[in-house]
Copies of this chain bind each other. A is one copy, B any other.
Amino acid sequence: MEIDPFIFRLSIFILSIFVGYYVVWSVTPSLHTPLMSVTNAISSVIIVGAIIAALAGSSEKIFETSNIFGFLAIVLAAVNIFGGFLVTQRMLQMYKKKKK
């Protein structure tokens, strides 16, 4: 009865697609720009892969080619993480409901 974990991942993948589909429909159009910016920021979870790539292999030779690519990816993703969330934050400031 052992099921290949791939099947599970596939299920998760597909369900996530549905969630993504629905989540967006319920976003008010005026928030589309922040939405785009926040999804952009989120998509930099790729940093998880980058960290694994950077630290892969023995801890002596830390700058093998593959690690270098990992480090580069970390920098890129990090720019995106910080930049993305902060910019979103700035944008959302504008949408603050005024006090009455």
Contact = CB atoms under 8 A, between A and B. Distances in A.
Interface stretch (A8-16, A38-46, A66-74, A91-99): A8-16
Nearest to A21: B22
Interface residues of A, number: 14
Copies in the complex: 2
Contact of A19 (B5, B8, B22, B25): B22
Interface of A: 3, 5, 8-9, 11-12, 15-16, 18-19, 22-23, 25-26
16 contacts: A5-B5, A5-B8, A8-B8, A8-B11, A8-B12, A11-B12, A12-B12, A12-B15, A15-B15, A15-B18, A18-B19, A18-B22, A19-B22, A22-B22, A22-B25, A26-B26
